[in-house]
């Protein structure tokens, strides 16, 4: 018995290929959007963790020297020995220089006395926009 072949070819039409490509593009776009949101969250978490690390280093500095670095000495006092008064009694390098920058590549802000912690100090990142007193600021208060 002989089978007759149909004249239509087995395969995908151009329309079917276009639909599959459209679905793949939508999936990739959704994944890219979700990953972008995760990256933003990760930057905020990293900034918060860096601030906690700076708080620990500042506490250690105070234990050794009975005072926090002055406003003028700033966070650099944790990386290089201050030459301005009050000079530290027992200084040891607390951090590496890259610990003083936030995830957006800007230097962390240090205030002594603080605006938010009047009896202590403020350490903050200005967030993604780099502007102070905006909703994306991340600080130790």
pTM beyond 0.85: the answer is no
| Average pLDDT for 59-69 | 92
Q: Which has the closest alpha carbon to 98: 114, 117, 118, 78?
A: 78
CB 93 within 8 A of CB 79: yes
DSSP code string of 112-134? SS-SSSTTS-EEEE-TTTT-TTS
pLDDT given at position 30: 82
Q: Does residue 3 have a pLDDT over 80?
A: no
pLDDT given at position 6: 55
Q: How far apart are CA 110 and CA 75, in angstroms?
A: 6
Task: Go through the chain and tell me how many residues it has.
Answer: 141
For residue 17, name the pLDDT band (cuts at 50, 70, 90): confident
For residue 29, name the pLDDT band (cuts at 50, 70, 90): confident
Q: Give the residues across from 138 on adjacent strands.
A: 125
DSSP code string of 34-48? HHHHHHHHHHHHHHH
pLDDT given at position 39: 64
Minimum mean pLDDT among 2-11, 36-45, 58-67: which range?
2-11
Range of 2-16, 24-38, 98-112 with top mean pLDDT: 98-112
């Amino acid at each position: 018995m002989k089978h007759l072949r149909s004249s239509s070819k087995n395969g995908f039409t151009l329309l079917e290929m276009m639909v599959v490509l459209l679905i793949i593009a939508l999936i990739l776009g959704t994944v890219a959007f979700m990953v972008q949101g995760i990256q933003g969250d990760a930057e905020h978490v990293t900034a918060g963790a860096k601030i906690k690390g700076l708080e620990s280093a500042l506490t250690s500095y105070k234990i050794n020297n009975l005072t926090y670095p002055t406003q003028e000495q700033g966070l650099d006092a944790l990386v290089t020995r201050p030459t301005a008064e009050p000079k530290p009694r027992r200084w040891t390098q607390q951090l590496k220089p890259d610990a003083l920058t936030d995830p957006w590549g800007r230097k962390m802000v240090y205030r002594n006395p603080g605006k938010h912690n009047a009896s202590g100090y403020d350490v903050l990142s200005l967030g993604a926009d780099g502007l102070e007193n905006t909703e994306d600021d991340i600080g130790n208060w």
